[in-house]
Amino acid sequence: MHETAEMKVLLARAPARFLAGSGRPSACLPLGLLHIAAVLEKNNVAVEIYDGMMNATKPVSTDANGNIHMGDSWEEVEARIRESKPEVVGITCPFTTQVENAIRLSKIVKKANPNTFTVMGGHHPSASPLALLLDVQSIDMICIGEGEYTMLEVVRSLERGVTPTGIPGTLDRMDVAGGKFTRPVPHILELDNLPLPSYHLINLEDYFSLRKRGFVDRPIVRGTGAERAVSIVTSRGCPFRCVFCSIHLHMGRKWRAHSVEYVLHHVDFLVDKYGVRHIHFEDDNISSNVHRFRGILDGLIKRGTRVTWDTPNGIRVDTLTRDVLAGCKASGCVYLVFGVESGNQRVLDEIVEKRLDLQAVERVAKWCKEFSLDTGSFFVIGFPGETRQDMKDTVGYALRLQRRYDVNPALFVAIPYPGTVLERIFSERNLLRKELSAEEMLGIARGSMVIDGDTFLGRDIVSMRKRLFRWYRFNIVLNFLSFLVRRPSIAAMTAKFLLKHARIGEMGEVLLEILLYKNYILGASGAGKRLRKDGKKESSR
């Protein structure tokens, strides 16, 4: 048995940065840190979480150029680090787009005390460990992949007075000095051995009110209680090889999952302890094992749909049968997002390598409509080798799905993130004059920048996106009007809901929410009906 640890551990996330003109900033729980903290706590390590992205009183500030800084000011960050006096700081950096602020945080830590040991982990450091370590002297170690047991080993080593080195799944300064640049990255096979995330280390209430305070988080339906939403991940890893995707770099290709019992216990815990009303399942492949997925759905149904849920990160359409969709509906699903990526089968097969049959998409979309399940879909354009016509096909396909089956499209632009096949393709075809900076990637992700491909121009992407958004808005209103014509009594309810839950300035936004979730909000969904009827508490079945 270990004695109570004396090491002072701080797990931290830096404030975020968003470019001018790129819409409202997005925020979410620091999930990686909550998971790591749980394992440390279970092993008697005292740990704090500092989320620099979350400032409850002054959420954002804007610089002279209109760029948005989200969270504590850098002075506040420094004050917090000095006050905490940590001996080891673990910094999370999930996105390449946010790496600059994560680096700045590591510099502040070292400035406050050069002896503090700093570890950086998360998706981006896992994808570019060596470059980060070589460029940034304020980082002592990079964690590649899952950080729960790695961080524990780091702390144990420091407790013994030994500078951590050679830990599996890490890269450190001694490795680099000795010319060792890689080491096998272990993945956690038995996810059920992990404790539930340490939610008590943050104030969940701050995250429930993100929307009210001007951020975009995962979509929810305002006024239904579903604001009390938490993102959870019930499985890790993905065996597929879509060229733009990089999740294998930190989560590996082997799909691993929590058991049905663990997931249901997690949901119960969130509902009972924190009054959570909605779950965002953020898995990359929640339904890979249909038997397990069905088990989760059955468990939720048995509980009387204590929560509603959605899959905002996308779900593989080809895992969904009619029967599974019926289970989704009955268990409180309010929104399913399909990862489709392209509306052109050749592009899907030969360029994206998604291994998805577009016919399956139409089939599933049709069933969802029959079940009155609100749905959305992700598309990506701008892949090298894609022609203007291919992109047009995708836009046309997305709009057709919307018109026929009410599937709301979201259109992204292909970005060559570090370590992806797409990055290799961009570089082999000489499509970038220089390596893209994090800021440029942020610009592409948020729509303020585009790059020319070999078979199209950047401006083609801009016009495709404009075209999609124009028709998307038109279709959504048209679909909704035809829905109202078929159910006139609902028109009055909509107006009432709008007046009750929206301030004048946000009318448009709330109306869009209603349009997106029309089945749920207007009561065609069982869960929606219960939530609306009794206001705060849902009845069980």
Quick one: what does residue 310 bind among ligand B12, ligand SF4, none, with the CB cut-off 5 to 8 Å set by partner type?
Answer: none
Quick one: what does residue 313 bind among ligand B12, ligand SF4, none, with the CB cut-off 5 to 8 Å set by partner type?
Answer: ligand B12
Which CB atom, from 424 or from 496, has the smaller least distance to ligand B12? 424
Which CB atom, from 245 or from 515, has the smaller least distance to ligand B12? 245
What is the 3 state secondary structure string of 114-136? Answer: CCCEEEEECHHHHHCHHHHHHHC
Q: Does residue 397 touch ligand SF4 according to CB under 6 A?
A: no
Query: Which of the residues 195 through 254 are near ligand SF4 (CB under 6 A)?
Result: 238, 240-242, 245, 247
Residue 147, φ and ψ in degrees, nearest 5: -105, -5
Query: Which of the residues 276 through 335 are near ligand SF4 (CB under 6 A)?
Result: 284
d(CA 541, CA 539) in angstroms, rounded, equals 7
Quick one: what does residue 339 bind among ligand B12, ligand SF4, none, with the CB cut-off 5 to 8 Å set by partner type?
Answer: ligand SF4
In contact, 18 and 70? CB cutoff 8 Å: yes
> At closest approach, how far in Å is the CB of 345 from ligand B12?
22
Per-residue CA distances from 536 to 264, 273, 299, 302 (Å): 21, 15, 22, 20
Residues 6+ apart with CB under 8 A from 155: 5, 7, 9, 40, 45, 88
Count of residues that bind ligand SF4 according to CB under 6 A: 8
In contact, 110 and 17? CB cutoff 8 Å: no
Which CB atom, from 32 or from 339, has the smaller least distance to ligand SF4? 339
The alpha carbon of residue 125 and the mean position of all alpha carbons in its chain are separated, in whole angstroms, by: 17
DSSP annotation of 196: P
Which CB atom, from 405 or from 417, has the smaller least distance to ligand SF4? 417
Which CB atom, from 123 or from 532, has the smaller least distance to ligand SF4? 123
> At closest approach, how far in Å is the CB of 438 from ligand B12?
9
> At closest approach, how far in Å is the CB of 326 from ligand B12?
26
> At closest approach, how far in Å is the CB of 535 from ligand B12?
29
Residue ranges of E strands in 332-460: 333-341, 375-381, 407-413
Quick one: what does residue 16 bind among ligand SF4, ligand B12, none, with the CB cut-off 5 to 8 Å set by partner type?
Answer: ligand B12
> At closest approach, how far in Å is the CB of 56 from ligand B12?
17
d(CA 353, CA 219) in angstroms, rounded, equals 29
Quick one: what does residue 147 bind among ligand SF4, ligand B12, none, with the CB cut-off 5 to 8 Å set by partner type?
Answer: ligand B12
Which CB atom, from 348 or from 510, has the smaller least distance to ligand SF4? 348
In contact, 377 and 338? CB cutoff 8 Å: yes
Which CB atom, from 208 or from 497, has the smaller least distance to ligand B12? 208
Which CB atom, from 54 or from 415, has the smaller least distance to ligand SF4? 415
Which CB atom, from 382 or from 528, has the smaller least distance to ligand B12? 382
Which CB atom, from 243 or from 531, has the smaller least distance to ligand SF4? 243
Quick one: what does residue 71 bind among ligand B12, ligand SF4, none, with the CB cut-off 5 to 8 Å set by partner type?
Answer: none
Which CB atom, from 144 or from 365, has the smaller least distance to ligand B12? 144
The alpha carbon of residue 378 and the mean position of all alpha carbons in its chain are separated, in whole angstroms, by: 13
Both tokens of residue 179? 């010319």
Quick one: what does residue 225 bind among ligand B12, ligand SF4, none, with the CB cut-off 5 to 8 Å set by partner type?
Answer: none
Quick one: what does residue 240 bind among ligand SF4, ligand B12, none, with the CB cut-off 5 to 8 Å set by partner type?
Answer: ligand SF4
Quick one: what does residue 74 bind among ligand B12, ligand SF4, none, with the CB cut-off 5 to 8 Å set by partner type?
Answer: none
Among candidate residues 514, 523, 535, 438, the one with its CA nearest the CA of residue 219: 514
> At closest approach, how far in Å is the CB of 89 from ligand B12?
8
> At closest approach, how far in Å is the CB of 247 from ligand SF4?
5
> At closest approach, how far in Å is the CB of 451 from ligand B12?
15
Quick one: what does residue 19 bind among ligand B12, ligand SF4, none, with the CB cut-off 5 to 8 Å set by partner type?
Answer: none
In contact, 385 and 351? CB cutoff 8 Å: yes
List, as one string, the DSSP characters of 37-57: HHHHHHTT--EEEEETT--SS
User: Residue type at 381?
Assistant: I
> At closest approach, how far in Å is the CB of 237 from ligand SF4?
9
Residue 405, φ and ψ in degrees, nearest 5: -125, 10
Query: Which of the residues 329 through 348 are near ligand SF4 (CB under 6 A)?
Result: 339
What is the total residue count of the chain?
541
Sign of CA dihedral 225, 226, 231, 236: positive
In contact, 77 and 52? CB cutoff 8 Å: yes
> At closest approach, how far in Å is the CB of 283 from ligand SF4?
9
Which CB atom, from 248 or from 518, has the smaller least distance to ligand SF4? 248
Among candidate residues 512, 412, 513, 411, the one with its CA nearest the CA of residue 468: 411
d(CA 362, CA 358) in angstroms, rounded, equals 7
List, as one string, the DSSP characters of 486-526: H-THHHHHHHHHHHHH--GGGHHHHHHHHHHTHHHHTT-SH
Interface positions with ligand B12 (CB under 6 A): 16, 26, 28-29, 31-32, 35-36, 90-92, 94-98, 119, 121-124, 127, 143, 146-148, 150-151, 231, 233, 245-247, 250-251, 282, 284, 313, 412, 417-418, 442, 445
> At closest approach, how far in Å is the CB of 353 from ligand B12?
14
Q: Please write down the long-range contacts of 202-208, taking CB distance under 8 Å and 24 or more positions apart.
A: 202/29, 202/30, 202/34, 202/49, 202/51, 202/54, 203/56, 204/230, 204/274, 206/54, 206/56, 207/27, 207/28, 207/29, 207/54
d(CA 266, CA 31) in angstroms, rounded, equals 14
Quick one: what does residue 252 bind among ligand SF4, ligand B12, none, with the CB cut-off 5 to 8 Å set by partner type?
Answer: none
Which CB atom, from 176 or from 196, has the smaller least distance to ligand B12? 196
Chain positions contacting ligand SF4, by CB under 6 A: 238, 240-242, 245, 247, 284, 339
